[in-house]
Amino acid sequence: MSLFGANSGFGAGGTGVFGSTTTDSHNPMKDVEVTSPPDDSISCLAFSPPTMPGNFLIGGSWANDVRCWEVQDNGQTVPKAQQISAVLCISGRSQTAHHVASQHDGPIKAIHWIKAPNYSCIMTGSWDKTLKFWDTRSPNPMMSLQMPERCYCADVVYPMAVVATAERGLIVYQLENQPSEFRRIDSPLKHQVNIYFFLIHSRLTCPALVFQHRCVAIFKDKQNKPTGFALGSIEGRVAIHYINPPNPAKDNFTFKCHRSNGTNTTTPQDIYAVNAISFHPVHGTLATVGSDGRFSFWDKDARTKLKTSEQLDQPITACCFNHNGNIFAYASSYDWSKGHEYYNPQKKNYIFLRNAAEELKPRNKKW
């Protein structure tokens, strides 16, 4: 039986191929360690698409490289390729990213592959306040759309794209026929906090960033069509937002996550950034990872927390599922949220693989 098969208990409590038989702070969940991880902070992860046989994992890092591993059925990872390039984002189809990067006037913060019935292209969102669409056969963009602010994060599930920008902007695009702006949305992450309390007791230091969007992920309905998105912020909060809900006040909601257990001034609560969100491709449940060094699994429909991991000794900076949801990959590395003085160049970075298919199954309880 495949080690990552649907009935496998791998990574759910047993010892992985590269895991330790004793619990340690860098791998308390005893998950499989990917061989030859990047030498600096890991900014993004992506699995190969279902049209490609096998499972290939891509990781981008601040070490100016993109690395690719083959994930074998027995859980072992085999390094396959390395591309030298400054990397803030990757896609499972991002092999042409280096080709188009020079056509933006600022760093590219998001890259996604779009497969439409009448066109295929790469979408890039940049700090130059543009969203560009590229035919991989040409060095010039097919289309360029101006945004009001810098792109911080984006997601694409055809025929919808969502871009979160600086100044808490949110823009939904429709991709049918040709890409166009569909709607601008007021940020659902408007919860007011005491800024002084937040700065003193959180792991963040800049008041201008209190509500900054960090990550966004589109989710689908039961007909497998994109219907809304989850938005994460550096303020330890996630918003679930439907594009056209029957009852917006009831259907849209936010929840707190990646925080310590303190609830009052005598035991203050530490607040950590939500660094990435990923939806399970089969169950529709979601994973969040944070600067607190934990991952959590959630059922948004039942409004239930499914699982929270033990705490790693570093932040978790990225995560993703493979195409059938049997493998959950997450990266442990420094996220720079506490500044340069806390950076330890001797600290090793890790990518872990976990069989989480059973743990992501929906529940019936409500939080």
What's 242's domain CATH number? 2.130.10.10
- Of 163-172, 193-202, 323-332, the poorest mean pLDDT is in 193-202
Rounded Cα distance between 247 and 237, Å, is 22
Q: Is the confidence at residue 62, as pLDDT, over 70? A: yes
pLDDT at 13 (0 to 100): 39
- Number of domains forming the structure of the chain: 1
Residue 23 lies in a domain: no
Range of 249's domain?
A: 32-360
Rounded Cα distance between 41 and 65, Å, is 11
Write down the pTM of the prediction. Answer: 0.86
Q: Is the confidence at residue 194, as pLDDT, over 90? A: no
Give the three-class secondary structure for 176.
coil
Long-range contacts of 311-316 (CB under 8 A, 24+ apart): 311/25, 311/28, 312/25, 312/26, 312/27, 312/28, 313/25, 313/26, 314/26, 314/347, 314/349, 314/350, 315/272, 315/273, 315/275, 315/290, 315/291, 316/275, 316/276, 316/289, 316/290, 316/291
Amino acid identity, position 28: P
Rounded Cα distance between 259 and 308, Å, is 12
Q: Is the confidence at residue 47, as pLDDT, over 90? A: yes
Q: Does residue 171 contact residue 165 with C-beta atoms inside 8 Å?
A: yes
Buried b (16+ CB within 10 A) or exposed e, 237-261: bbbbbbeeeeeeeeeeebeebbbbe
- Of 205-214, 266-275, 318-327, the poorest mean pLDDT is in 205-214
Residue 15 lies in a domain: no
What does the pLDDT look like over 101-153, one tens digit per residue? 458 899 889 999 999 999 999 999 999 999 999 998 888 899 999 999 999 99
Q: Is the confidence at residue 2, as pLDDT, over 90? A: no
Show the tokens assigned to 190: 């408007």
Rounded Cα distance between 66 and 90, Å, is 8
Residue 3 lies in a domain: no
Closest CA to 274 of 223, 229, 328, 215: 215
pLDDT at 129 (0 to 100): 97
> What percent of the chain shows pLDDT beyond 70?
81
Residue 4 lies in a domain: no
Distances (CA, A) of 167 to 12, 28, 186: 40, 37, 11
Q: Is the confidence at residue 307, as pLDDT, over 90? A: yes
Residue with the larger pLDDT of the pair 106 and 95 = 106
For 345-351, what is the mean pLDDT? 94
Residue 302 lies in a domain: yes
Residue 8 lies in a domain: no
Q: Is the confidence at residue 96, as pLDDT, over 80? A: no
Residue with the larger pLDDT of the pair 342 and 86 = 342
For 329-336, what is the mean pLDDT? 96
Rounded Cα distance between 26 and 312, Å, is 5
pLDDT at 210 (0 to 100): 46
Residue with the larger pLDDT of the pair 236 and 139 = 236
Q: Is the confidence at residue 208, as pLDDT, over 80? A: no
Rounded Cα distance between 274 and 259, Å, is 10
In this structure, the dihedral spanned by the alpha carbons of residues 255, 259, 262 and 267, taken in order and rounded to 10 degrees, is: -140
Closest CA to 44 of 86, 83, 89: 89
pLDDT at 87 (0 to 100): 54
Q: Is the confidence at residue 367, as pLDDT, over 80? A: no
Confidence of residue 365 (pLDDT cuts 50, 70, 90): low
Residue 149 lies in a domain: yes
Give the three-class secondary structure for 332.
strand
Show the tokens assigned to 38: 């990047």
Neighbouring residues of 68: CB distance < 8 A, sequence distance ≥ 6:
56, 57, 58, 59, 79, 80, 81, 82
pLDDT at 18 (0 to 100): 38
For 195-223, what is the mean pLDDT? 64
For 331-341, what is the mean pLDDT? 92
- Of 37-51, 201-215, 248-262, 314-328, the poorest mean pLDDT is in 201-215
Instruction: Report residue 153: phi and psi, to 5°.
Output: -165, 160
CB-count burial class (<10 Å; 0-12, 13-18, 19+) for 264: exposed
Residue with the larger pLDDT of the pair 306 and 202 = 306
Residue 234 lies in a domain: yes
